């Protein structure tokens, strides 16, 4: 799951380049008075049906059939679709300033935006949708509200990027005409967030929910407990949160979610058609629990709390009855708070638990999950205990073969794919990345995209795969900006692997569609990594290689690019103390030789 390494130092705060009318870069260390002026002028972003991420199953553009959202546009809903209608109306009202009333749909909508649970193409299933855009109306049809919500995310991307603004913009708001039929390749498309190593607030988690929902992710796996912190209130064992959750990596104050706060996160995710999967990591990764209650230790002595990032040293006491009372109480309370079908029990890196004890433990704990009406998930290590076929092993290895996982798939277990060297969002992009780890290798966007979840493991075919998930571990991540920097643009790449047919996966086409997301993320304030592998479409006018070379006595005003040491560098945000070439990829993107 997560072989930890030492975290990098705390990064400086940043002020981001987000569709500003002008921005000046002051760079210390390159000589007195050095500055590069960055001027960004608003530009109309023309959306295209070819720019949607994940790429839809079937797209048929229609010329001359564009639809304009105006002050007269209404949103029409049927019974069961009003929640999605209210969501869409709130989203569009912010930027358009239009009233966009939500009304009951007529029998045959002839105008406005209709969200209908009737008449969809039969191939769309429970999560897909059909979208038709004509000059007079936009109609999204689905069999279930989840499908309508997915269709709304596509509609968002068919509108200009300025639709994401939280303040009124001038428009125009034109949707390109055409026809889309779309449905997912895998039913499970997940994003994982580690809130145990570093704690993230309710608002930060909600923001991440909003961001991943745009790419049709439908599960959020919350890693709630680990050696460094216990992040959820358990009423029957209160010191888990109040003492075990007090700190985080580095010894800084941590935190935990009260049960009401956790319910709030779950409900908010549900409103975005995302199901929360809670993880209580057992029997290893448990030092926060062992430090909170001495009786959970075989020697009845509580160890000190740990705020380093080592792994594999902690274990519950497998022979004690109190261990199973503890685990049963925790599973019962967490299951009661979580309406979704899954409960993740971790099970990885239990190096301090003898193998037979590990098997004994899982054989007692897996039924406790079933007793609470939940389907057990666990990191693929759980296959050593031959879990019931209902359990879902999550593959996190770096190899393309694993005998135990292959055997589990043959027995009937569905495998969730999260290979660390392809999908771990906490891996560095390259050697200069300011955050993250590299034990599984560097993962640039192309690496994250160019693998096949349905054929990645020898002997595990697509029908034996439940889906794909992108884990994000937080040893080096301190806030939502850090989360965004590591997740974007790789999270949309993993999301496309989970949603779109394998036959559509093409790196050259994907990088172009991904580039079109850049202006949208700028307006949303997403701190994304400007990978040089992607031809980003920005709303400003950059300089060129004909600009003067970097000199300490010159003030640059021609764009956000400068040439320096025979390379072109793009300024990404305001900072002090970094110059191009100082291994400061967080501030300057190296675009290669002129």
| Catalytic residue annotation | 349
What percent helix, strand, coil does the chain show, rounded to 5? 30, 20, 50
C-alpha distance from residue 4 to each of 137, 412, 420 (Å): 52, 32, 12
- Contact present, 405 and 383 (Cβ < 8 Å): yes
Q: How far apart are CA 585 and CA 594, in angstroms?
A: 18
How many angstroms separate the Cα of 77 from the Cα of each of 89, 115, 161, 213? 11, 5, 25, 21
Residue 393's DSSP bridge partners are: 378
Structure letter (DSSP) for residue 492: H
> Residue for token digits 């991904």?
514
Angle between helices 259-271 and 202-213 (to 10 degrees): 20
Task: Look up tokens 């497998």; give the residue.
Answer: 318
The β-bridge relationship of strands 67-69 and 173-175 is antiparallel
Residue 568 contacts by C-beta under 8 Å, 6 or more apart in sequence? 545, 561, 562, 590, 591, 592, 593, 594
Phi, psi of 490 (to 5 degrees): -75, -35
Please state the length of the chain.
594
Could you please report the per-residue DSSP string of 335-396? HHH--SSEEEEE----TTS-HHHHHHHHHHHHHHHHHTT-EEEEEGGGGGG---TTSEEEE-
């Amino acid at each position: 799951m997560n072989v930890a390494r030492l975290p990098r130092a705390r990064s400086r705060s940043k002020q981001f380049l987000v569709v500003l009318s002008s921005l000046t870069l002051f760079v210390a260390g390159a000589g007195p008075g050095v500055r590069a002026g960055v001027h960004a002028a608003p530009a109309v972003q023309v959306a295209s049906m070819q720019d949607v991420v994940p790429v839809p199953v079937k797209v048929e553009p229609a010329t001359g059939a564009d639809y304009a959202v105006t002050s007269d546009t209404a949103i029409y809903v049927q019974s069961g679709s009003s929640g999605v209608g209210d969501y869409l109306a709130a989203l569009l009202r912010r930027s358009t300033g239009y009233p966009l009333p939500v009304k009951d749909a007529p029998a045959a909508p002839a105008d406005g935006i209709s969200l209908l649970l009737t008449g969809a193409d039969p191939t769309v299933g429970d999560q897909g949708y059909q979208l038709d855009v004509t000059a007079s109306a936009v109609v999204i049809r689905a069999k279930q509200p989840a499908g309508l919500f997915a269709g709304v995310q596509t509609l968002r991307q068919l509108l200009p990027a300025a639709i994401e603004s939280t303040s009124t913009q001038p428009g125009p708001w034109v949707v390109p005409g055409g026809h889309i039929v779309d449905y997912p390749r895998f039913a499970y498309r997940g994003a994982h967030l580690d809130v145990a190593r570093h704690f993230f607030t309710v608002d930060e988690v909600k923001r991440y929910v909003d961001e991943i929902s745009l790419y049709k992710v439908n599960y959020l796996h919350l890693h709630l407990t680990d050696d460094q912190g216990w992040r959820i209130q358990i009423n029957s064992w209160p010191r888990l949160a109040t003492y075990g959750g007090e700190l985080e990596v580095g010894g800084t104050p941590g935190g935990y979610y009260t049960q009401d706060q956790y319910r709030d996160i779950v409900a908010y995710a549900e409103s975005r058609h995302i199901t929360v999967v809670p993880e209580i990591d057992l029997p290893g990764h448990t030092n926060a629990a062992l430090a909170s209650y001495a009786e959970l230790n075989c020697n009845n002595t509580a160890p000190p709390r740990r705020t380093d990032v080592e792994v594999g040293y902690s274990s519950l006491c497998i022979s004690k009855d109190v261990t199973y009372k503890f685990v049963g109480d925790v599973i019962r309370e967490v299951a009661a708070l979580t309406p979704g079908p899954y409960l993740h029990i971790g099970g990885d890196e239990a190096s301090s638990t003898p193998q037979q004890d590990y098997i004994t433990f899982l054989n007692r704990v897996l039924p406790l999950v079933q007793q609470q009406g939940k389907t057990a998930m666990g990191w693929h290590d759980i296959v050593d205990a031959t879990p019931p076929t209902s359990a879902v092993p999550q593959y996190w290895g770096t190899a393309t073969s694993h005998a135990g996982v292959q055997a589990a798939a043959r027995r009937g277990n569905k495998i969730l794919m999260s290979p660390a060297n392809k999908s771990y969002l906490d891996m560095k992009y390259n050697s200069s990345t300011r955050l993250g780890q590299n034990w599984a290798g560097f993962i640039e966007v192309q690496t994250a995209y160019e693998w096949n979840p349905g054929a990645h493991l020898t002997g595990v075919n697509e029908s034996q795969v439940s889906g794909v998930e992108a884990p994000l571990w937080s040893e080096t991540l301190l806030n939502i900006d850090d989360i965004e920097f590591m997740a974007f643009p790789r999270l949309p790449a993993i999301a496309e692997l989970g949603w779109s047919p394998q036959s559509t996966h093409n790196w050259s086409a994907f990088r172009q569609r991904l580039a079109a997301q850049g202006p949208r993320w700028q307006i949303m304030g997403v701190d994304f990594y400007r990978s040089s592998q992607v031809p980003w479409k920005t709303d400003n006018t950059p300089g060129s290689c004909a600009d003067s070379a970097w000199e300490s006595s010159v003030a640059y005003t021609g764009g956000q690019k400068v040439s320096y040491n025979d390379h072109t560098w793009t300024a990404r945000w305001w900072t002090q103390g970094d110059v191009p070439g100082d291994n400061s990829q967080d501030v300057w993107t190296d675009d290669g030789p002129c």
